[in-house]
Chain A
Amino acid sequence: MPTGLHETLGPLGHGLQLTLAMTAIAFTGALVLGVLLAVCRISPVPPLRALGTAYVTVFRNIPLLVLLVLFVFGLPDVGLLFSLFATVTLTMTLYWAAFVCEVLRAGIRTVPLGQAEAARALGLTAGQSIRHIILPQALRSMVQPLANVFIAVALSTSLAAAVGVAEMTGQAQFVTLKYDQPLTSFAATTVVYVLITMTSGLIAGRIERKVAIRR
């Protein structure tokens, strides 16, 4: 059976849409949850600190695929039934939030202690010194690590294929099996992943150069 190019590229296009949607939602969710976790881990309240530490330890040390099968096949056993897409995206959000939290913490640690002491000496309140002195400096050093997390999120959405989501990697497999087009499908998919990572890397590099602080 002869197959036109559009027959292989059509499914791959659908897959790309799913990949991009999952990446965008999971990364945004991970940012929000990651900020909350970082606040917990830094706060002077002991139980919240312990909670943040436990969360990061557990989620960073479990392979994402293990979390995916646990949530996809395990959640229905405790009566929580969501769509496959929602479950997978939620799992990725929970997983990557732990990494975002650590990036934020490392970023805050790059600000020299003297900056905080100087802010206090000037009579700034805690809120003022965080808003005007610490965060502006910390955020700049987080650009590259956050871009790395973004790239990792984009690549990790491929694992959804292993639990049955037809995103790009899943479609590449499907096209290979159905139309016998292994070369076209895998090459096209690879090109898209390379484009995603290179574009994000370039954009992050631009932003970083723009906001860099020379000490």
Chain B
Amino acid sequence: MSDESRLLFDVPGPRARRRIRIATGVSLVAIAALLALVLHQFAQHGQLAADQWSMYGQWPIIHFLLTGIGQTLLVTAVGAAIAFPLGALIALVRLSRNRVARALARGYVELFRAIPLLLLLYVFLFALPRAGLTFPIFWQLLIPIALSNAPVVAEIFRAGVLAQDRGQAEAAHSLGMTYWQAMRWVVLPQAVRKLLPALVSQLVRLLKDSSLGYVVSYLELLHKTQVLGEYYHTVLSSYLVGAACYVVINASLSWLASRLERRQRG
């Protein structure tokens, strides 16, 4: 039994066990019926035909999708390489003792957490070019992603530093370290280790954000599945295969995050 069920339910006795068995049977039938309904609807409209699905066994198609996955991972990696250090820096400024700097960092976090990524993307796509500022497609996608993820990372870092035992920083100061030395050598290394699971989870969000490459016509996974679907007239199956790829990659990342978390607790 999981933690939550132990909280809500007593250990079942014979009567409860019989009720659970009956509910198991009923729900199995209901789930099977739901599945049959979906398959029936697919079959009715020819979505189960072999020509809709056989193409995903061919190497050129697989290769085409794999390069899309590669681009998605590239955007995620570069996005993280910019957003994570930038977020850490903003967090440190927010924790610093200079009031003006603190206010500026806070303003950045509050503002950019409230702007939807797509709006930011449109600013780079439609507004900035009017001011004579254009970027290559890759950066048109990446700068907004980094700008909108940095404040979230900053808040993760700030929470981590604040959760540190104050004695650690005090001990560093008593050894004669300055504020920044204490941060660099004592507080941050401990905080980062504890924050690792949260940071890996943030990668999932970054990877999901990369799907907005669809809007700027950057050929990442989602845009590639669109091209595939329109070229072969397999819109539904293409998007379904693309979605499955996202689930597999992100579920692996989430699994990694929860493993890191368990290792820390254990």
- Partner-B contacts on A (CB < 8 A): 41-48, 51, 57-58, 60-67, 69-70, 73-74, 77-80, 105, 108-109, 111, 113, 115-116, 120, 126, 130, 134, 155-156, 158-159, 161-162, 169, 172-173, 176-177, 180, 182-183, 186, 189-190, 193-194, 196-198
- Top 9 nearest A-B pairs (CB, nearest first) are A182-B127, A158-B116, A61-B250, A63-B208, A63-B211, A74-B236, A70-B239, A197-B114, A194-B114
Chain A residues closer than 8 Å to B115, beta-carbon distance: 190, 193-194
B7/A61 in contact, CB under 8 A: no
- Partner-A contacts on B (CB < 8 A): 1-10, 12, 16, 20, 23-24, 27-28, 31, 41-42, 44-45, 47, 110-111, 113-119, 122-123, 126-127, 130-131, 204, 207-212, 214-215, 222, 226, 229, 235-236, 239-240, 242-243, 246-247, 249-251, 254
Chain B nearest Cβ from A160, distance in angstroms: 9
Asked if A66 meets B12 with Cβ closer than 8 Å, knowing A173-B126, A197-B113, the reply is no
Q: How far is the CA of A109 from the CA of B2 in the complex (A)?
A: 10
B236/A78 in contact, CB under 8 A: yes
Chain A nearest Cβ from B235, distance in angstroms: 5
A61/B251 in contact, CB under 8 A: yes
Q: How far is the CA of A129 from the CA of B69 in the complex (A)?
A: 49
Chain B nearest Cβ from A76, distance in angstroms: 9
A78/B5 in contact, CB under 8 A: no
Q: Is the interface of B mostly helix, strand, loop or mixed?
A: helix
Chain A residues closer than 8 Å to B240, beta-carbon distance: 70, 74
B204/A61 in contact, CB under 8 A: yes
Number of cross-chain contacts by CB at 8 Å:
171
Q: Is the interface of A mostly helix, strand, loop or mixed?
A: helix
Q: How far is the CA of A177 from the CA of B126 in the complex (A)?
A: 8
A-B contact pairs, 8 of them (CB 8 A): A46-B24, A47-B31, A63-B210, A113-B6, A134-B7, A158-B116, A182-B127, A186-B119
Select which of B24, B127, B214, B239 is within 8 A of A45 by beta carbon.
Answer: B24
Please give me the residue from chain B that is nearest to A154 by CB atom. Answer: B116
Chain B nearest Cβ from A74, distance in angstroms: 4
B247/A183 in contact, CB under 8 A: no
Name, among A61, A156, A176, A198, the residue most crowded by chain B CB atoms within 10 Å (CB to CB).
A61
Name, among A57, A77, A126, the residue most crowded by chain B CB atoms within 10 Å (CB to CB).
A77
Chain A residues closer than 8 Å to B31, beta-carbon distance: 47, 51
